[in-house]
Structure 1
Amino acid sequence: MNTALRTAENRTFGPSGDDPIDLIAAALRTDGYIVLPAPLPPAVLGGLLRHFRSIDREHFRRAGIGREDEHQLNRFVRSDKIFWLDNANPAVSAYLAWMETLRLGLNRRLFLGLFDYECHYAYYDRGTFYKKHLDAFKGSTNRVVSSVLYLTPNWQPRDGGELALYSPGEEGLAPEAPPLMKVAPRFGQIVVFLSEEFPHEVLPVQRPRYSVTGWYRVNNSLGDIIDPAS
């Protein structure tokens, strides 16, 4: 991957006749990330927002860090709550179908070997955050491509909760590293990036923030055993 990254403006694409899969694949190949303002149909976005709001907050669980035996809760690192998604809701099913089309397209264009996609709603209440982290460390996980779809209506800069994306590798993990870019959590906007490359964090939230966070995975298991989802 070419790590000579461009500015946020050059990696953000507006609605156009271009195929979003082509745009995402090209950006992942050259830069490792992309922001798309509104690639999904409004009906799907509206359905996701209604579904999100319909779920009792008691059904959201506090998010942890790590996977399987290493999973732990740490409110000093992250303080959001999550709700894992499946095909039970029509809007979620439509979103997962869109992401499946993207998975197949990325595999055809980039030969990534993406095996499946897992995702959850993320609910950030006022004052919550997620400190700088990587979604995957090289060789230690099966997450390859990360995505965040924002569902917060009428977001304003004073609301906070931007995604700060940092330069790849150790440089970006340094405490003093400045953000490569900040992604505003505007309704319908999606950011896609390479999970092992880009440290990132969710800046403190000033009003409730809704999103769908997910990962494309590869299957690192042997034989007929399939890697478990998170």
Structure 2
Amino acid sequence: MDDTLKQALALGRAYYLKKDYGLAETYLTQVVESNPSFADVYNMLGVVYHDQGQYQKALRAFEAALRINPGYTDAALNLAVTYNDTGKYREAQETYRHALSRSGAAHGKLDRYVQGKLANMYADIGDVYLSSGLHDEAIAEYRRALALGPAFCDVRAKLAGALRDAGDREAAISEYEEVVRQNPTYVLARLNLGLALYGGGRRDDAVAQWRAVLEISPGNRNAELYLQVAGG
């Protein structure tokens, strides 16, 4: 590699790390046009394109990275995320499975980074199902996500909401309670827990949640409104 290309590579990586993707793209493109043998450069370009919403270019970049290095876990995970973002859920899951098989995690266990990305993918699919009114499918995806990331309170709150909307109030209450147990300052979860409790005839428990919200977030308008309605 000549000095000019080395400098372009160094600048491209530096701007990429700073998330200055416009300049990063300029230098990284220069590198692959001169020497298309760097898997990490294609992976960085894929991230840049994905950030810009150029999903097809991102797919091609990640695929190029994997052709050069089939064991490149980060590129495989980024490719799966991009498949997911473009509605190619089957391809996303297949790519994740390949990534997991090559991640270097101990047999029967997942690498934490891979585990987190996979959990987020399932949660994203759940969001799609939920937005389409397919509650059972959304619930199944959120449960898959939580099996991998049990401490993901935002995903658990989504699961609780989906259960509530599907008519399973008691299961929703249980999940909201777990969210509050894991994160006592999660205001939205407490508000929704209160609503689920109130809807189930547990007025005093609901009032307790809304009063707790006002301790965490004084003047919270929703909590004040709910307390007025409940006469609390």
TM-score bracket, normalised by the shorter chain, equals: under 0.3
Structure of larger gyration radius: 2
Q: TM-score, normalised by structure 1?
A: 0.22
Q: Which has the higher contact order (CA 8 A, sep 6+)?
A: 1
